[in-house]
Amino acid sequence: MKPGTLVSITLVLFWLSVGLVASGHRDLGLAAAAASSFVTLLILRREREFARRQKESLELALAASGRRNRELDRLRDLSSALLGGNDLATLNRQVAQAAAELLDAEGGAIMLMVEEGRFVRVVAGSGPLLAAVGALVPVDRSLVGHVIINDEAVLVDDMESDARNHPHEQLTGRLRSAAMVPMRSAGLVVGAVCAYNRKDGRPFTDHDRQLLQTLGDQVVLGLDRTSSLEELRRNERMLAAKNKELQRVTQLKSEFLANMSHELRTPLNAVIGFSDLLLTEGLGPLETQQREFLEAILRNGQHLLGLINSVLDLSKIEAGRMALSLTPCDVREAITGAVTDTTSLRAAKRQQCIVDVGESNSLDVVADATRIRQVLFNLLSNASKFTGDEGRITVSAVRTIAPMPTGSVLLGGDPSRLATRDVVWVSVSDSGIGIKPEDVARLFQEFSQVDSSSSRAAQGTGLGLALSKRFVEMHGGQIGVESIYGKGSTFWFILPVDGPPKERSER
Ligand SMILES: Nc1ncnc2c1ncn2[C@@H]1O[C@H](COP(=O)(O)OP(=O)(O)OP(=O)(O)O)[C@@H](O)[C@H]1O
Ligand SMILES: [Mg+2]
């Protein structure tokens, strides 16, 4: 009966009793009043019952929403732990604890498949599972193995009486109830997340299973993310170690080369000096064969000295110990000097040399004159070496403007930023064998020689161009080549008139 009907009955009875008493039917009136009071009592009791039920369901709803809030908070904590890049062990531990807390259980655990799927390892555990961390559980003889093999969640109220459970001393000691959910990564089961022993003895529910599933997803996300992060960090550490080792080896190599070169130069200078002295015949006349032998000693000695000097220069540059001695100098003078130094090479092949440097424009640059002459010497000697008898060699230089890098890799600047600068442009052209387009890229690398019989026949070690490139770049300049195979080559370099960009001069 609705509460409204009861109220109406009470009112009717009340007014009836009043009417009956007023009309002299006192007994009947009192009976009606008693009935009205009884119905009123009935109403009050029903109201109280109703309020009690409402309070109960409100409390239940509040408890559920509190639980839900706790679950959300815990999951949010785990997500931020994930994003925070915690290591895998910490993350696993946090998820195992969260599983126990959220499912109101005594312990939680994360198990991962190992040993090609034959075992699961307890990688993290809390409560009764703490002692089992690190333990290996055979997949074919455990409840967790059943979960993994069949890829299905399991909720068990009494583990001991479950036929799928094979007691395992480290896992089953005091375990009663369990909730276990498989974890999947890229569609494959990789392990399980579990909770054991519900504290209040209630059975685990489908909601608990869903919660474990969410936790398991977090572990897998973390696994994927942390493993790739760990992999990245491992690689970084390995690279850093290798880099350090490489630097140490380079340093050692440079020091070794510098010392060796120094040690070799001293006796070599004696060989060159004494053979030169003997050739002057100041100590007596020489027979033709004696002269030839002495000339061979001198020539080879000088070649060896050139090589040692190149190696020494390169190792100094690599070790960052090559300093330029910058002064205002005239490129015209450097060209004249280098042309004179290479006269004998051209004379032997009756080659012609044309120098086209004009007269009016200044070819002054701020540079290390010795190094510029070294570059020119190498380009001119290459031109002679790789040009046949009676070939033609032309050296040109002009002052112009060109877009130049404002910094270079060597100088620690940005080579892609260009600025227009006053420059001196120098070229050495020959009518020699030329270079195939596919060989051009490696010409400027150390010890690189184009593999042709003529190149191999010519003397050299393949260091000249590599050194020239380093020297030109240390000046903030550029070097390059244009060639037509079989017709000839033009090697060129550009030097900024004001010298290297600031970074170097400030050093
Ligand atoms: N003018 C040129 N014409 C054709 N090939 C050239 C010319 N200049 C250089 N090369 C090629 O580039 C290679 C590298 O030259 P680089 O000057 O570095 O070494 P090298 O002359 O062989 O030895 P080094 O200069 O150390 O005595 C040469 O071996 C040759 O194959
Ligand atoms: Mg050379």
CA nearest neighbour of 443 among 494, 353, 378: 378
Q: What is the mean pLDDT of residues 406-421?
A: 65
Question: For residues 387 and 139, which has the higher predicted lDDT (pLDDT)?
Answer: 387
Q: What is the mean pLDDT of residues 195-202?
A: 90
Threshold 0.95, pTM exceeds:
no
- Cβ–ligand 1 distance for 449 under 6 Å, the answer yes
- Cβ–ligand 1 distance for 455 under 6 Å, the answer yes
Per-residue pLDDT at 504 exceeds 50: no
Q: How many CA atoms lie within 13 A of 15 on its CB side?
A: 5
- The DSSP call for residue 200 is T
| Cα 308 from Cα 269, distance rounded (Å) | 12
- The predicted pLDDT at position 436 comes to 92
SS3 485: coil
| Cα 12 from Cα 4, distance rounded (Å) | 12
Sign of CA dihedral 283, 287, 288, 291: negative
Lowest mean pLDDT among 34-38, 63-67, 119-123, 443-447: 63-67
Per-residue pLDDT at 456 exceeds 60: no
Ligand nearest to the CA of 384: 1
- Cβ–ligand 1 distance for 489 under 6 Å, the answer yes
Geometric angle at alpha carbon 190, from 89 and 197, rounded to 5°: 70
| Residue 294 near residue 279 (C-beta atoms within 8 A) | yes
- Cβ–ligand 1 distance for 375 under 6 Å, the answer no
Q: What is the mean pLDDT of residues 190-194?
A: 91
Question: For residues 229 and 123, which has the higher predicted lDDT (pLDDT)?
Answer: 123
Question: For residues 363 and 30, which has the higher predicted lDDT (pLDDT)?
Answer: 363
Q: Measure 490 CA to ligand 1 centroid, in angstroms.
A: 12
Q: Measure 303 CA to ligand 1 centroid, in angstroms.
A: 15
The neighbourhood of ligand 2, an ion, using CB within 5 A, equals 378, 382, 460, 464
Supply the mean pLDDT for the chain.
85
Q: Measure 488 CA to ligand 1 centroid, in angstroms.
A: 13
- Cβ–ligand 1 distance for 391 under 6 Å, the answer no
- Cβ–ligand 1 distance for 443 under 6 Å, the answer yes
Q: Which atom of ligand 1 is nearest to the CA of 448?
A: 14
- The predicted pLDDT at position 451 comes to 63
| Cα 19 from Cα 467, distance rounded (Å) | 129
Question: For residues 406 and 271, which has the higher predicted lDDT (pLDDT)?
Answer: 271
pLDDT for 348-387, tens place per residue? 999 999 999 988 789 999 999 999 999 999 999 999 999 9
| Cα 108 from Cα 43, distance rounded (Å) | 51
| Residue 73 near residue 85 (C-beta atoms within 8 A) | no
Which contiguous run of DSSP H or E holds residue 392? Answer: strand 392-405
- Written as six digits, the tokens of 202 are 């209630």
- The predicted pLDDT at position 399 comes to 93
Q: Measure 384 CA to ligand 2 centroid, in angstroms.
A: 10
- Cβ–ligand 1 distance for 433 under 6 Å, the answer yes
- The predicted pLDDT at position 507 comes to 39
pLDDT for 290-301, tens place per residue? 999 999 999 899
Ligand nearest to the CA of 387: 1
Percent of the chain with pLDDT over 70: 92
Look-up: residue for tokens 């009955």? 9
Residues 6+ apart with CB under 8 A from 14: 32, 33, 36
Ligand nearest to the CA of 485: 1
| Residue 302 near residue 248 (C-beta atoms within 8 A) | no
Lowest mean pLDDT among 148-152, 155-159, 432-436, 501-505: 501-505
Q: Which atom of ligand 1 is nearest to the CA of 455?
A: 31
- Cβ–ligand 1 distance for 379 under 6 Å, the answer no
Per-residue pLDDT at 438 exceeds 80: yes
Q: Whose CA is nearest to atom 25 of ligand 1?
A: 464
- The predicted pLDDT at position 3 comes to 63
CA quadruple 64, 67, 68, 74: dihedral, nearest 10: 180
Q: Measure 419 CA to ligand 1 centroid, in angstroms.
A: 31
Q: Measure 500 CA to ligand 2 centroid, in angstroms.
A: 24
- Cβ–ligand 1 distance for 479 under 6 Å, the answer no
Question: For residues 85 and 53, which has the higher predicted lDDT (pLDDT)?
Answer: 53
- The predicted pLDDT at position 505 comes to 43
Q: What is the mean pLDDT of residues 37-48?
A: 86
| Cα 366 from Cα 375, distance rounded (Å) | 15
- Cβ–ligand 1 distance for 461 under 6 Å, the answer yes
Q: How many CA atoms lie within 13 A of 340 on its CB side?
A: 7
Per-residue pLDDT at 474 exceeds 80: yes
Q: Which of 302, 382, 433, 459 to mutate to test the pocket of ligand 1 (most atoms within 8 A of CB)?
A: 382
Q: Measure 466 CA to ligand 2 centroid, in angstroms.
A: 9
- Written as six digits, the tokens of 375 are 């570059």
Pairing of strands 136-138, 119-125: antiparallel
pLDDT for 298-311, tens place per residue? 989 998 898 888 88
Ligand nearest to the CA of 440: 1
- The predicted pLDDT at position 320 comes to 77
| Cα 394 from Cα 353, distance rounded (Å) | 6
Q: Whose CA is nearest to atom 28 of ligand 1?
A: 449
Q: Whose CA is nearest to atom 29 of ligand 1?
A: 449
- The predicted pLDDT at position 416 comes to 65
| Cα 353 from Cα 504, distance rounded (Å) | 35
Per-residue pLDDT at 240 exceeds 50: yes
Label residue 407 by pLDDT band (50, 70, 90).
low
- The predicted pLDDT at position 171 comes to 59
Percent of the chain with pLDDT over 90: 38
- Cβ–ligand 1 distance for 94 under 6 Å, the answer no
Ligand nearest to the CA of 309: 1
Q: Measure 201 CA to ligand 1 centroid, in angstroms.
A: 87
pLDDT for 263-296, tens place per residue? 888 899 999 999 999 999 888 889 999 999 999 9
Q: What is the mean pLDDT of residues 236-256?
A: 85
Ligand nearest to the CA of 491: 1
